[in-house]
Amino acid sequence: MTTAGPSRPVLSLRQATLRLGGRELWSGLDLDVEPGTFVTVLGPNGSGKSSLLKVVLGLRELTAGSASVAGRAVRRGDRRVGYVPQHSGFDADTPVRGRDLVQLGVDGHRWGLPSWGRSSVVQDRLRQVGADHLADVRLGRMSGGEQQRVRIAQALATDPDVLLCDEPLLSLDPRHQARVVDLLDRRRRDHGTAVVFVTHEINPVLGATDLVLYLMDGRFVLGTPDEVLRSEVLSSLYGTRVEVVRRRDRVAVLADEAVGF
């Protein structure tokens, strides 16, 4: 986590409340994300993890409270916010190349041929994620891990202050998961980009995580991994006995009833 000098949060939520379909996903959420901080968001399906990202993207309005990026209210299309979606494969005959996908992130709503300046940005972002060699490769011919590298390069196209990641490790094998996490970890350390990472599995990102936001049934717990991933904390959150077992750099959650991240 970047610690050089005082800084203001790149993402802030104040007494944030979100209700959907008459159901309260979470309420009274106060969250400050400093530059370079890696926040892992956990919770079962339907707990509001992806909805939190949509709020920051300006795609969903809070029911109450406020959300801001770098001191300004969230808005749709904010170039200070990058977004990495859930992993899904491309058809083998998809004609879009790696550089084309990143170019979309650079150009945004603009049309026409890219200028030289914007083309150099594309090359730089591909280089940052170690994907120079994928510039002219069709997306459908890349491995899942390679596709995610290019998606991250696209999300970094505008050099965002905060990078939102919505379960980007799904369907990736452990080797590619580790590479994606390492890439994001280096980005936040080298460039001060805050990362908000939604996942169902804590272990691949445990070593990079500074803060855990755990959402569950309209409630939440926020703190460091050591503060949140404890038997008594999760037992209280789930309302059933939960045992957290740590072994080296891995965590297992055992419960009397089915629980999940």
Alpha carbon separation from 138 to 93, 129, 130 (Å, rounded): 8, 17, 16
Average pLDDT (165-192) is: 91
pLDDT number for residue 254: 79
Asked whether residue 7 carries a pLDDT value surpassing 80, the answer given is: no
Asked whether residue 186 carries a pLDDT value surpassing 60, the answer given is: yes
- Give the number of other CB atoms < 10 A from CB of residue 252: 11
Distance CA 65, CA 199 (A): 25
Number of structural domains found in the chain: 1
Alpha carbon separation from 1 to 18, 177, 187, 191, 195 (Å, rounded): 29, 21, 11, 10, 10
Residue 115 confidence class, pLDDT cut points 50, 70, 90: very low
Range among 36-40, 232-236, 242-246 with highest mean pLDDT value? 36-40
- In a domain, residue 124? The reply is yes
pLDDT number for residue 85: 86
- In a domain, residue 4? The reply is no
The tens digit of pLDDT for each residue in 49-103 reads: 999 999 999 999 999 999 999 999 999 999 999 999 886 777 778 889 999 999 9
Asked whether residue 240 carries a pLDDT value surpassing 90, the answer given is: no
Whether residue 167 contacts residue 86, with contact meaning beta carbons closer than 8 Å, is answered with yes
Of 160-169, 205-214, 219-228, 247-256, least confident by mean pLDDT is 247-256
For position 40, which CATH number holds?
Answer: 3.40.50.300
- In a domain, residue 134? The reply is yes
Look up tokens 């916010």; give the residue: 81
Residue 110 confidence class, pLDDT cut points 50, 70, 90: very low
- In a domain, residue 2? The reply is no
- In a domain, residue 206? The reply is yes
Per the structure, the complete domain to which residue 201 belongs is given by 11-255
pLDDT number for residue 3: 46
- pTM for the model stands at 0.88
- In a domain, residue 44? The reply is yes
- Most distant pair of Cα atoms in the chain: their distance: 60
- In a domain, residue 218? The reply is yes
pLDDT number for residue 248: 75
- In a domain, residue 47? The reply is yes
Distance CA 134, CA 128 (A): 12
Pairing of strands 162-166, 194-198: parallel
SS3 107: helix
